[in-house]
Amino acid sequence: MVYVYFVLNYVYSEGVRAGYLQKFSQKGWICKSYEGEIAMTTVPGVAPIIWNFSVWDEKVAAQLRNVPGKKVVLHYREYRHIPTDCFGETGYFVDSVTVAE
């Protein structure tokens, strides 16, 4: 329990990423988590880099469900060594969304 508490309360890194929301869904057999991906492009005509992320917050999930295909700026926190997928499939957890104009 102490390990899980420490891992979930220690942020390894945080930042923002921008791209086009490609996919967003709720997944899992027993533990449901929100998972998504954005396509980040640096130069038009070049293959995008796909970035996968997870979401804990229901309000953030509701925002993302309404903007598929739109350009978004996501603020995230990265957690390392989470012991189970019940918290999310990635170590990147988005906590706010801005739809780019």
- Over the Cα atoms of the chain, what is R_g? 14
CATH class of 2-99: mainly beta
Average pLDDT over residues 46-69: 95
d(CA 79, CA 25): 21
For the chain, domain boundaries: 2-99
DSSP letter at 5 equals H
Residue 52: exposed, middle, or buried by beta-carbon count in 10 A (0-12, 13-18, 19+)?
Answer: middle
Q: What is the pLDDT of residue 44?
A: 81
> 49-55 and 33-40: which strand pairing?
antiparallel
For residue 59, with 0-12 CB atoms within 10 Å meaning exposed, 13-18 middle and 19 or more buried, which class applies? exposed
With cut-offs at 50, 70 and 90, classify the pLDDT of residue 45.
Answer: confident
Look up the pTM and report it.
Answer: 0.85
pLDDT value of position 8: 65
